[in-house]
Structures are given as structure tokens and as C-alpha cells.
Amino acid sequence: MPYSVWNTAPTTARLQRLGRYLPGSAAHPAKMLPGIAAHAIRRYTQPGDLVLDPMCGIGTTLVEALYLGRNALGVEYEPRWAELAHANAQHAIAHTRRGLAEVVRGDARQLADLIDPGYLGQAALVITSPPYGSSAHGRVRATTETGAPGVTKWNWRYGRDPRNLAYATTDHLLAGLARILAHSARVLRPGGIVVITARPWRERGELVDLPTAVIAAGRHAGLLPVERCAALLAGIRDDRLVLRPSFFQLKNTRDARRQGLPLHLIAHEDVLIFRKPGTEVGTPASSCRRPRRSGPCLTRVRGCVRQQGGGVGR
């Protein structure tokens, strides 16, 4: 497969979100970098196209799609994040005065049964990131309140529902992802593109090669792998990478090196690109069909959250 590098982190994640996302957005334990979503949307869609994120979290994909003149559809299980994704999408529409967005709360493993049938076959792009490596999520600070060195951890949970795929074993996570991709493919138009970000991690010292497993899950869902890229999480200054490691990255790397394992800090996300089989059909912005339903989802200054049972979050 072709391989390329995306320069997606010229500034920090905090600066990329500044003014575009509502307070509270930073509390999600595993947010997609806005620069990654924006790069994929520019690369694989045209203004007026529909972009879907089946595990939309705080709505990063939706917000970046709206700012780029696309329409957006998101599915999110956890009610807290579904409401925030809806609010972030409304915030983006209020600033851009263009685009349409909808957030549906429910289980993305039944995505095609949750959304309005009018969306089927309409999306130009699906972009998402599965929940993985939960031990590395959240934020921490060093503390000596107990009299001994330690850390305090917060914002590290997606929610408390054990049915959330974030708490599933790796095998169940990949099986769930394959189902989500199969449902997402029904929303894609022929030749539509799927973009999934992932990275390997270590579990009890063993390497979990999630990117390779995601490629297998995509194939199982009937999608064709066409490209594998590296989206930078580090900045570029002259000819050097400027790393912005998390506490967990530093700790895990230092611990591994003390044990003789030559690990390095993570400087990128793996990006796996798939295509839905069929002849690619361009959809002009003026002809992008929408579900025929009255209500706030069809206005340009409001989004909506619809609730359907069950769920998965990221």
C-alpha cells in the first residue's frame, strides 16, 4: 500500500481546539487530534459532502467537517459525550453559518438501524478512532500529599457502562469494530473512503499490533485497504521533530528502557485508509441528499441529538 506522512501537528492539540470547542471537551480521555480529522476531510471529500464518525466522542470529526463546509453525522453511546458532541457541532454551525450536523446516541454496532434510512449510500467519508490502550488515557499530576512520590489521575474514563467497547478485551474490540465498519459501509457511497486512526500499545509487556488488526477488521467488513499513513503528533522545526509526549508515554518508555527494551516515544498515529468497492461517484454540494424529515436537524443553525438504545463510545 502507498505510505505517506501527514503533517498534522504544527501546533499543540490545545491550540488546535482553542475557540472551536466548548469548555469540558478536554475531559474526554482519548480525543482525536483535530488536525488529523481536518487533513483527512480535505484530502478525501469536497464541500457539501457528508462525513460520518460512528464513534464520535466529543464531535471532533463533526466540528472539523463543518468548518470545512461539509455536512456531518455522528453516533456516540455515552450520553455525556453525545450531548457535548451535539453542543460542539452547534457551536461550529453558529460560527460558520453553514453545514448540517446530527448526533445520534446509540450503539454503533447497529449503526445502519439507528440512523435515518435517507443517509444510506450518501457519505463520502467515514473517519473514526476505536477506543484502545485505556491504560494510557487521561491526565495526571505528580503529588506528594501522602508523603511519598505518586500521581493523581483524572479524566480517564469514557463512562461507567461495561458494555462500552472501551472496556472490552482486544478480541471483542476488534469484533465490534468489524461490525461497526460493516454498518458504516452501508452509509458510504460507492467508492467512498474510510479513515481509521490507531496505534500499537503494550499490555503486560506484550505488543498489541492494533493497526494490523484494524486492517484485518476492515477486510472482514468488505472494505479494500488502499493506503497506510503516519499522522504526526509532533511538530517539525527545521529538520527535527518536536515531541509532545504525555505523562504515560514518558513513564512507559523510561520503565521499558530500565528493563532493557529499546522503546521510543510515540510521534505519530497510524492511519489506515480503506475504500468501499464500486465506482466512485462524485456528489456535488447542491445535490447532496438529506433525510426527508422536519425538525431542527434540517436547519443550518442547529443540530440535534437523537437517542437509540445500547451503545459504544470512544
pLDDT in tens, 191-236: 999 999 998 877 766 778 889 999 999 999 999 999 999 999 999 9
What is the per-residue pLDDT across 219-228, written as a single tens digit (0 to 9) for each? Answer: 999 999 999 9
* Structural domain boundaries, residue 208: 3-307
Q: What SS3 class is residue 26?
A: helix
Tell me if 191 is assigned to some domain.
yes
The pLDDT of residue 1 is 79
How far is Cα of residue 314 from the mean position of the Cα atoms in its chain?
8
Helix axes 79-96, 60-67, angle to 10 degrees: 10
Relative to beta strand 224-232, strand 3-6 is: parallel
Tell me if 314 is assigned to some domain.
no
Residue 124 clears pLDDT 50, i.e. is over it: yes
Q: Which of 211, 173, 209 is nearest to 195 (CA)?
A: 211
The pLDDT of residue 153 is 47
Cα distances (Å, whole numbers) of residue 131 to 21, 22, 45, 128, 151: 21, 22, 25, 10, 23
pLDDT band per the 50, 70, 90 thresholds, residue 301:
very low
pLDDT band per the 50, 70, 90 thresholds, residue 125:
very high
Q: Tell me, yes or no, if the pTM score tops 0.85.
A: no
| Neighbouring residues of 41: CB distance < 8 A, sequence distance ≥ 6 | 51, 61, 64, 65, 68, 70, 125, 127
CATH number of the CATH domain containing 251: 3.40.50.150
Cα distances (Å, whole numbers) of residue 270 to 35, 119, 155, 312: 14, 28, 24, 22
Tell me if 83 is assigned to some domain.
yes
* In the chain, % of residues over pLDDT 90: 55
Whole-angstrom distance, CA of residue 188 vs CA of residue 126: 7
Number of domains in the chain: 1
Tell me if 231 is assigned to some domain.
yes
Tell me if 84 is assigned to some domain.
yes
The pLDDT of residue 170 is 79
* In the chain, % of residues over pLDDT 70: 76
Tell me if 313 is assigned to some domain.
no
Tell me if 263 is assigned to some domain.
yes
The answer to whether residues 235 and 242 touch, using CB atoms and an 8 Å cutoff, is yes
Tell me if 203 is assigned to some domain.
yes
As a whole number, the mean pLDDT across the chain is 82
Residue 311 clears pLDDT 50, i.e. is over it: no
Residue 268 clears pLDDT 50, i.e. is over it: yes
